[in-house]
Amino acid sequence: MSCVQKVNSRVLGIRAPSGLQALAARITEEIKQGTLKPFKRVIDLSSNDPHRAEMAPISFVRQVLAACLYPEIIKENSLPLDVRQRARELLGACLGGSVGSYSATPYGIPHVIKSIAEFITGRDGGVKSHSENIIFSSGSQKTLEMVFNLMADVEGKTQRGVLTPMPCPHTLPPLLDMSGLTLVPYQLKEDRGWAVDLDELHRALNSARGRCEPMAIYISNPGNPTGHVQDRKTMKEVICFAATEGLVLLAEEVYQDSVYGGDREFISYKKVLFEMDKSFSETVELVSFHSISSPCMGECGLRGGYMEVINMDPAVFQHLKQLQATSSPTILPQLALDVMVNPPTLGDPSYETYSQGLGVEADVLYCQRLVEEEGLCLGAGCENGQEDQNYHVRLCVLAPPATLDEVLTQLCSFNQRLLDTFP
């Protein structure tokens, strides 16, 4: 870790995981061994891992993958017709008709890449997406790591930096550090629902100059871990800021299917960019990220994601693609991605089933007691770089409604009991 990064880590309060999940695992083991607790099980909602939170896998996804792994069952009638048809289609796109073969190209199976491009085009109201701009890899973190390594590889003596929101995903600071990039923090505005603030972006950029050369701005929309959904006005401001300052815009859009509330909708940065004047739409470098770990799939363990690269210098983009070309991407995550971007539609046999599948800080202490007394494992705000005078807990809502009802009831009871104990 560089000296600058060490200072950043101390100032921001970013640290290794607090051990809450380890505590939850220990208590779970104690229950298995017969230790009596005031609860029967530990429910872990501290991270965005739907299956860990007891959300059942989507049947259509697993059925298609099962049929691709064992094609003999395609001949049977035990699986719905559309599952068998999709499995045949995907196997036909694999070399040798088998998931055991290498990927057809170092960047992904052409059929899957084409499906992703069609999905993006449809999502963005006809804004054309091109297959050659899409790179597949083992999860959005891996694609982000590839971009970071590309930036760190630029010649020059000055260390490069990336403007990073606070709070941010807990995996981001170590990823920047491993890539040799400096984290340049900008604070999200809690009093405005964790919104991005233009003045704060300028402050962060100016504070970084002299100690590093900022090359990119990282945006999470919908926000991770805040859940904030950006509006067009904010997104245009961010795009203009990136254009003026010569920054690459890195848009993590993994949670685009997790927008709740009638007054908000997800709009991709690419769509907004292409609604703007050509002085922006043809010049601003944009890299957007998506993944099968997203809420609509929840297949975190399969590790599959992609990035779409817009307006990057052809030579630089070719170098980025070469970073992926060093190893052939795995097959099953690509097939799951195809299902994610091309799900069953109304009228398909699997449609109905598919549509139903979708030194301890105060907040750490709160979460520790919550695990020990109620069997609920939530996330502590300080793990995401939270640095103001308030304290926060993070609850992943990607769980069955019945589980959430149970969780909220226990959380309410615990909170009231804590207030009665410490008025």
Average pLDDT, the chain: 86
The larger pLDDT score, comparing residue 332 to residue 13, is at 332
What is the arithmetic mean of pLDDT over 75-104?
A: 93
pLDDT value at residue 108 = 87
pLDDT value at residue 421 = 64
Give the residue from 412, 373, 360, 400 showing the smallest Cα distance to 55.
Answer: 400
Answer yes or no: is pLDDT of 6 > 50: no
Answer yes or no: is pLDDT of 229 > 90: yes
The larger pLDDT score, comparing residue 328 to residue 110, is at 110
Residue 316 binned pLDDT confidence (cut-offs 50, 70, 90):
very high
pLDDT value at residue 15 = 39
What is the arithmetic mean of pLDDT over 134-139?
A: 86
Answer yes or no: is pLDDT of 422 > 80: no
Using CA atoms in the order 387, 392, 398, 400, what is the torsion angle rounded to 10 degrees?
170
* DSSP assignment letter at 13: T
**360/368 Cα distance (integer angstroms):** 10
Helix (H, G, I), strand (E, B) or coil at 377: strand
- How far is CA 78 from its chain centroid? 34
Answer yes or no: is pLDDT of 249 > 90: yes
Q: What are phi and psi of 52, to 5 degrees?
A: -65, -30
pLDDT value at residue 387 = 62
What is the arithmetic mean of pLDDT over 403-412?
A: 87
Percentage of the chain beyond pLDDT 70 is 89
pLDDT value at residue 186 = 97
pLDDT value at residue 119 = 95
Tokens of 390: 């308030």
**92/73 Cα distance (integer angstroms):** 16
3-state helix, strand, coil in the chain (%, to 5): 45, 15, 40
pLDDT value at residue 413 = 85
Decide if 116 contacts 334 (C-beta within 8 A): no
Answer yes or no: is pLDDT of 344 > 50: yes
Answer yes or no: is pLDDT of 4 > 50: no
H/E stretch holding 252: strand 248-252
pTM for this structure? 0.79
Decide if 354 contacts 340 (C-beta within 8 A): no
pLDDT value at residue 231 = 94
The string over 375-387, giving b where at least 16 C-beta atoms fall within 10 Å of a residue's C-beta and e elsewhere, is: bbbbbbbbbbbbe
Domains of the chain: 3-56+360-421 (3.90.1150.10), 104-329 (3.40.640.10)
H/E stretch holding 376: strand 376-377
Highest mean pLDDT among 10-24, 94-108, 181-195: 181-195
Give the residue from 110, 109, 69 showing the smallest Cα distance to 328.
Answer: 109
What is the arithmetic mean of pLDDT over 34-41?
A: 90
pLDDT value at residue 2 = 37
What is the arithmetic mean of pLDDT over 75-88?
A: 94
Answer yes or no: is pLDDT of 57 > 90: no
pLDDT value at residue 156 = 67
Q: What angle separates helix 81-93 from helix 59-69, to the nearest 10 degrees?
A: 50
The string over 94-108, giving b where at least 16 C-beta atoms fall within 10 Å of a residue's C-beta and e elsewhere, is: beeeebeeebbebbb
Among 153-157, 219-223, 254-258, 345-349, the range scoring the smallest mean pLDDT is: 153-157
What is the arithmetic mean of pLDDT over 368-386?
A: 76
Answer yes or no: is pLDDT of 391 > 70: yes
pLDDT value at residue 354 = 78
Q: What angle separates helix 172-179 from helix 3-12, to the nearest 10 degrees?
A: 170
Answer yes or no: is pLDDT of 356 > 60: yes
pLDDT value at residue 139 = 79
